[in-house]
Amino acid sequence: MKAERLISTDNANNLTANLATYHIKPLMLWHCVLIRRNCWTDDLDLVKICVQLLHKLAEWLTDTWCPHYFISKCNLIDSSFSVTNTVG
């Protein structure tokens, strides 16, 4: 699976923590399932939807939990990922 790095940081153990497109894709898929169908047709506000997605991504990063869309109980954020290094 090819993944483009969105954010790359080096932590104290010289492990590289990456926020990649494969963290964003399940976010989009889950959002499509969880919001009402008419949100996509009635007064479509892409900025509002993007802000909602960024807030949900922030929650996932804080909880170090990025659920895989197709494989239940699969976390796409591994132990080398550090929210502190990503933010700071």
Average pLDDT over residues 55-78: 87
> pLDDT at residue 27 above 60?
yes
| Domains in the chain: boundaries | 17-87
Question: What pLDDT, on the 0 to 100 scale, is given for residue 56?
Answer: 92
For residues 20-56, one letter each, b for 16 or more C-beta atoms within 10 angstroms of the residue's C-beta and e for the rest, the string is beebbebbeebeeeeeeeebeeeeeeeeeeeeeeeee
Question: What pLDDT, on the 0 to 100 scale, is given for residue 14?
Answer: 39
Average pLDDT over residues 41-67: 85
Average pLDDT over residues 7-26: 62
Q: What is the pTM of this model?
A: 0.65
